[in-house]
Structure 1
Amino acid sequence: MKILVVGGTRFFGIPMVNALINAGHDVTVATRGNNALSFCGSVRHIVMDRTDTESVKRAVGDVSFDVVIDKVAYSSNDVRALLPNIKCDRYIQMSTCSVYAEDTLLIGEKEFDAAAHPLVWADRTQDYGESKRQAERAAYEFMDAEKCVFVRYPIVLGENDYTGRLRFYVEHIMNELPMFVDDLDYGISFIHEKEAGEFIAFLAGADVCGPINGCSKGIVKISELIGYIEKKTGKAAVYSKDGDVAPYNGLENDMSLDTQKARALGFEFSELGDWIYELMDYEIDMVERCV
């Protein structure tokens, strides 16, 4: 298939594009030109500003694609600048579990219906969840519902995570820095960067539409993450209301996603426990090297 990837040059975009290449697809990657390409095979590369209508028109011209994978749609205006100016049969948008209103276990895709959400044309805002709801909703203005897919993940982790959210805990514990953790007992779900990329690539050839969750099986409590770091390093976490605010604060309850829809397509997600502690060992090693 002829596939256009908008974004995708870092983090889980890299295993996603690599999986597309390995599957034999004809891949074009569109970026602003700020990051070097580092994939396992050759791709076409075009430079454009996806938020600028004229830039999109100049970059893609009359080229038609079987699938567009949009990794960087953060608002309704982002979608409005892109979709009317690209010819494609299917549109896959990277969304988020933040579109769901409540934290709970096994959240199903029906908990947020983008088609029924009031549309507001707007740029990216500080309300990440609402901005992504609007990005999903905007797609229906330009594509038939059966041609749209919205991939909803929890927090993505991996060795190439540039956000440093997991490393925050490692650094603060190892350096005995105070941190503010609002609740140690809530459980949270994650997905590994490699699996996150490979699942989107899988969806490019899958007979599916609408929202679809992706998530490793199981949850882990914040206290379990911290306890593991303490045991491995021999250091104790320092808690303080005046400390640095921890990345995973703000949960209202234990949170995980129902992945029955993905599993019905034949995709099986990993067990969280099979990789999360190995990743933490990696983060501990990286911090030790910097000491």
Structure 2
Amino acid sequence: MKNILVIGGTRFFGRHLVNQLLGRGHKVTIATRGQTPDTFGDRVQRIKVNRRDREAMIKAFANTDYFDLIYDQMCYNLLDIDIANDVFDGNVGRYIMSSTIETYNHLMGLQSNPYKENDFNLSAVDVEQTFPWHEASYMQSRYADGKRQAEAHLYNTSILPAVTVRIGHVIAGREDFTKRLQSYVLAAIEGTSIPTSPAPQPSSFITVRDIVAFLIWLGEQNFIGPINAACEPALALDDILKSVQEICQKPIKTHLSSNAQSQRTPYDYLSPHVMDTGRAKDLGFKFSPILESLPRLVQELLDDLVVEA
């Protein structure tokens, strides 16, 4: 049994991660602001704290036991890393930060091969300490930069034994709060036309089941460093629309976007945006085929929308 802290853990795939950890007999503490209800009952310990507040974090964790493992689902920028360094230095066996495929955004269109973890040098990333990273609008508009700088700062300070998981687009059914896949199911049902680029390019995706399984597996390993997480094959928007049309049994109308840079729909990429998962495979993890899950997710959304109608 491990003593595990999950920062976040009450939304999207985070709650599945907590349930899986509990099912494996681990002692789990969740740290949240306490604003999202959960169904864990007395199976978890709870720490109510603002992840962005350094002094509150230091106070909240001042008397906690050593954590064998920390899953930080709420780290978005280098200021969050500074807080993690201050709070958890010497008090964690392994620190796993959820990162994103969007850390590779600056390479889009510059290379044809899928991105490998070492395709950009984290030690060369300019760390922007004076930026207002904790302002909500800034965090959102600079999401990819924030994650990239968080990773760079994490490894360059070398205080925590860290793994950063660069997660592909998490594709889900009814539990996806972004409603990206749902927007295409709605387009099929309602007969609305969606704008697309002339030739949408592929990107990397992962299911909730696979990212949770991967995070659980990571917690049982001992390596450090960045690692990509994605199912295969990579999917282009056309692949997603095809699956939606087959399940809904209705065509999706499309029209060319008048401005390919600003009027594209979710998952419509002008250049390939695909991660190489060779490191994960070499270390022993096998991702499931994404095309086996996609129809089920579309059907789930369709069923919900039919009931709502």
Q: Given the two structures, how large is their TM-score scaled by the length of structure 2? A: 0.86
User: Residue 151 of structure 1 aligns to which amino acid in structure 2?
Assistant: V
Q: Is it true that 1:111 corresponds to 2:125 in the alignment?
A: no
Change (3 A) 1:281 1:105: farther
Give 1:13 deviation, angstroms: 0.7
Tell me what 1:69 maps to.
71
Regions of 4+ moved over 6 Å? none
**1:88-144 C-alpha deviation (Å, 9 max, x unpaired):** 232111001111133455321111332332222231251221111111122235544
Q: Which of 162, 171, 189 in structure 2 is aligned with 1:174?
A: 189
**Measured at CA, do residues 133 and 266 of structure 1 come closer, stay the same or move farther in structure 2, by a change above 3 Å?**
same
Which structure 1 segments of 5+ residues have no match? none
1:35-57 deviation digits (Å, cap 9, x = unpaired): 11234981111100010011102
The Cα of 1:196 is off from its aligned counterpart by: 0.7
1:93 aligns with 2:93: no
Structure 2 matches for 1:67-216, cutoff 5 A? 67-86=69-88, 87-100=91-104, 101-103=106-108, 104-121=112-129, 122=131, 123=133, 124-140=139-155, 142-144=157-159, 147-159=161-173, 160-216=175-231
Give the Å deviation of 1:176: 1.7
Provide the aligned C-alpha RMSD in A.
Answer: 2.2
5+ residue gaps, structure 2: 134-138
Aligned position for 1:5:
6
Q: Distance in 2 between matches of 1:190 and 1:49?
A: 30
Structure 1 residues 82 and 271, CA gap change in structure 2 (3 angstroms): same
Amino acid in structure 1 at the alignment position of 2:267: Y
User: CA separation in 2, counterparts of 1:271 and 1:40?
Assistant: 34
Alignment correspondent of 2:136 = none
Q: How far apart are residue 11 of structure 1 and its match?
A: 0.9
Structure 2 contact 78–146 (Cα < 8 Å) conserved: yes
TM-score by length of 1: 0.90
1:290 aligns with 2:294: no
1:137-181 C-alpha deviation (Å, 9 max, x unpaired): 222355447x11000011001231111011011112211223222
DSSP-derived class of the 1:261 partner: helix
Task: Provide Cα deviations, 1:166-208, integer angstroms capped at 9, x if missing partner.
Answer: 1011112211223222245422321001211221122112021
Distance 1:132 1:277 in 2: 31
Count matched residues.
289
Distance across 1 between alignment mates of 2:42 and 2:18:
9
